[in-house]
Amino acid sequence: MGADSQAAPAPKPGKGRDALVIGASSLGTVFEWYDFYLYGSLAVIITSHFFSGVNETTGFILALLAFAAGFAIRPLGAVIFGRLGDIWGRKNTFLITMLLMGVSTFVVGLLPSYERIGIAAPILLVVMRLVQGLALGGEYGGAATYVAEHAPEGRRGFYTSWIQTTATVGLFLSLLVVLIVRTQLGEDAFKAWGWRVPFLVSLLLLGVSLWIRLKLHESPTFQRMIAEGKGTKKPLAEAFGQWKNLKVVLLALFGLTMGQAVVWYCGQFYAQFFLEKTLKVDGALANLLIASALLIGTPFFVFFGWLSDKIGRKWIIIAGCVLAAATYFPIFKAITTYANPLLAQAEASAPVTVSADPATCAFQFDPVGKAKFNTACDVAKAYLAKAGVTYSVHDGGAGSPTTVQVGGVTLSGFDAKGATGKAFAAERKAWEADLGDQLKVAGYPAKADGALVDKPKVIGLLFLLVLYVTMVYGPIAAMLVELFPTRIRYTAMSLPYHLGNGWFGGFLPTTSFAIVAATGDVYSGLWYPVIIASVTAVIGGLFLKDTRHNVIDD
């Protein structure tokens, strides 16, 4: 494996070779992101197949946790493959990561459901997500470093911005494939088995990606470093064991990637979860709306990468964080207004309040599916959360009965009257039907009416969210590369990137949905990205210097 990296330094590639470097690196990375984000695109359906043994709220949280597992492991992948990349070379390492990603994604398409093999199904799913996360942890740093080390002076932002488009293009591609398969098979067949097709297609994409990347040579900067004997055999010790480098790693994490990550995942993934899970927009229509916004917004990655070569990278990223933090709440409330206007009208005219003894209200998260949430408060909250209805909880005092107020109408809380088993289930079903009827009378829709969705305005709002993503993400690869010396660059830049995106960003959907489930306010989950983006804006603004004039051939 090391033969390629030990070769004599190659001459600086010409424009044609540069185009191949950017195109091959970007296309291969697009396919990896496609593989990784298929799960996010299909989280709602995957919940029903792999987490059907628990209550619905817990099932969706667990599905999001399985989604997040791939992100949680990414820093470990960054350490493992970053070290290999600084020792063996950039090209050889991201060939390995691509192979791991493609195979693990293909296997997800073959996994039996919970109904067939029980608890083994979600366990195997999580294992595949962990393999995907490891692979992606090594992929991004290699591709970004490889392209940056080919870029001419003053063009690194523009060159690496093409790599930055790949995550969004990969997500767009996953949405597009899902939409095509969904449309061709029909919703029932797609939910039953057709959801597997996009995962199985990844095997074909893997073959194409490997073929393209095998045409590449090692980066000239890395070859020059090896030829001059300036390489290192201990990149981990140098990157994280020396304070001068560790300090930069920490600043990169808290002053750049942490905020960039929550803006990215809120603008693309949480927006989709919000449309489907909260606003009850049809899955195919939600995919179409998100895909349209991504299509319009993607060129701005390149624009802001190019702009960062002209005016600097730092303040573009900080501005994106500030704008996101300042406008998320009004944007998501406007999305509700235009995506499900009947729901927005009902929330305004007939607010819902649950009044109860706090001791009878549990946080309804049960990972093992054993707890029973059967108090009147829990039954009310579970039904309202499932219906996507925003509600507030009022402390009625110790020993007080549970009531549900819908507008001006008050309903008594669920009372099983001592019934058990099937009789209990029948009583609960009857009470929920009464609450459902009252919500219907108050104007709460069971799902969004596709004919009433103001598609241009929703796409426009989603585009704003994507625009913030392009501001924080377009210039960041170049800035991370420019922060660290060649000998430890792959390792040092990969860890803060994947800590930020894998942990702060990857856990955003899970954390935000859990906050919503606990509070009853469908917008309360936005506090998580707002606070994180604000903290990054302060730390990055105060302690980081711009890097566009830094020399990277060292």
Please count the CA atoms within 13 angstroms of the CA of 178 that sit on its side-chain side: 28
pTM of the model: 0.81
Domain ranges of the chain: 3-340+450-543, 345-441
Q: Where are the alpha helices (DSSP H) in 214-254?
A: 220-227, 235-241, 243-252
CB distance 92 to 4 below 8 Å = yes
Residue 136 and residue 149: Cα distance in Å, rounded? 20
CATH of region 3-340+450-543: 1.20.1250.20
pLDDT attached to residue 36: 67
Phi-psi region of 397 (alpha: psi -120 to 50; beta: other; left: phi over 0): left
CA atoms within 13 A on the CB side of 172: 16
> What local confidence, expressed as pLDDT, does residue 7 receive?
39
CA distance 49 to 98: 27
Cα 444 off chain centre by: 29
Greatest CA separation for the chain: 83
Pick the CATH number of 345-441 from 3.30.300, 3.30.160, 1.10.101, 3.40.30: 3.40.30
**pLDDT by 10-residue block (mean), the chain, 554 residues:** 39 56 75 73 79 67 72 84 77 80 87 86 86 81 80 89 84 85 89 91 83 75 75 80 91 96 90 88 89 91 96 96 97 96 93 90 60 81 82 88 91 82 87 92 91 96 96 94 86 87 81 78 92 97 92 74
Transcribe 84-137 into DSSP letters.
HHHHT-HHHHHHHHHHHHHHHHHHHTTPPPHHHHTTHHHHHHHHHHHHHHHHHH
Same CATH topology for 3-340+450-543 and 345-441: the answer is no
- The closest of 214, 28, 34 to 106, measured between CA atoms, is 34
Cα–Cα distance measured from residue 101 to residue 78, given in angstroms and rounded to the nearest whole number: 14
